[in-house]
Amino acid sequence: MNASTSDFDADGFCIVRGAIDPELITRANRHIDAFRSKNDPLLIEHNLLLEGMLHRVVNLHYSVTSLQDIFSTAMHAGHEVCDRFGKATLYTSLFFEHGSQQLIHRDTPYFYSGSEGGYMGVWVALDDVDETNGALVAVKGSHRLEDPDLDKLKNQFHPTSDVPASSGPLFKAYNAELERAAERKGLVAIPCVVRKGDMILWHPSTLHGGLPHLDKSRSRRSFVMHITPQNMPIKQMDYFFHRDKPIESVERQYLTHANRLLLAGDQVDFRHMKAFAVSELGTF
């Protein structure tokens, strides 16, 4: 067992230093610059930037293909963790220049497979990131916290109807219960201070979030990968809060890149506001 694996098991997350070669990070950043040079007028027209930076871009790897190289390299560097549920494929990705600034949360209501081993989060730094430009934080040991009373929460927010696929107030209340449980156990949120090329892996049940992006003169480029074994069904809150609903098997279409599978697609979404075809954005 290497240090990353033991940290992952003990703490619910680990940092793999220097996981991605500096040349690949430089190349990816150059391609992202080219992507922005071409597409900024389009993104500005539709008000899709946040304070002049890309924010929560879904599946940018379809357009910026060097991000696919980062995926395959990351899986090789972290295979002892990433492949423990089955050989990892890329399900979806997020790209940020502006910090996510997310509240502390657990991913599983939106990445629910019916089992513990269906999903994992992987975060690669394309910039140096610290407490001033939106570092990721993870609550050490929170992957061992049991879920709160799901029926009680469901009945509080959806007493007469099924929970929909997404319910913001319910998700917030669910995570508030987990935060209180973490505080009672004395669990601490750890800022993940990283250099470009470092990689963070987190357990599906680990509480994590993003610090405020205070220094706007510095970007916080990061590539987040949601990985699953091949053909793992992934459901959202409508299944997470209704455990009696059967989860059917799926047969997904994949692309192959460097002996790894990526879910096939041709759309890039910006901030869950508007999506464009890769044919419109270009390939870099």
Question: End-to-end CA distance of the chain, in Å?
Answer: 38
Instruction: Give the model confidence (pLDDT) of 232-273 as tens digits.
Output: 999 999 999 999 999 999 999 999 999 999 999 999 999 999
- What would the two tokens of residue 170 be? 């319910």
Alpha-carbon span 240 to 118, nearest angstrom: 13
List, for the chain, all residue ranges whose pLDDT scores fall below the cut of 70.
1, 3
Name the β-bridge partners of 95: 57, 223
For 235, how many CA atoms within 13 A lie in the half-sphere containing its CB?
Answer: 20
Tell me, what amino acid is at 104?
Answer: I
Q: What is the residue-wise DSSP string for the chain?
A: --HHHHHHHHHSEEEETT-S-HHHHHHHHHHHHHHHHHHHHHHHHTT--BTTB--SEETGGGTSTHHHHHHHHHHHHTHHHHTBTBSEEEEEEEEESS---PPSB-SGGGSB-SSGGG-EEEEEESS-B-TTBT-EEEETTGGGPPP--HHHHHHHH-TTS---S--HHHHHHHHHHHHHHHHHTT--EEE--B-TT-EEEE-TT--EEE--B--TTS---EEEEEEEETT---B-HHHHT-TTS--------EEEETTEEEE---EEEETTTEEEEHHHH---
Q: Can you list the domains of the chain with their CATH numbers?
A: 3-281 (2.60.120.620)
Q: Report residue 78 CA to chain centroid gap.
A: 16
**pLDDT confidence of residue 3:** 63
For 110, how many CA atoms within 13 A lie in the half-sphere containing its CB?
Answer: 15
**pLDDT confidence of residue 105:** 97
Whether residue 43 contacts residue 263, with contact meaning beta carbons closer than 8 Å, is answered with no
Alpha-carbon span 38 to 36, nearest angstrom: 5
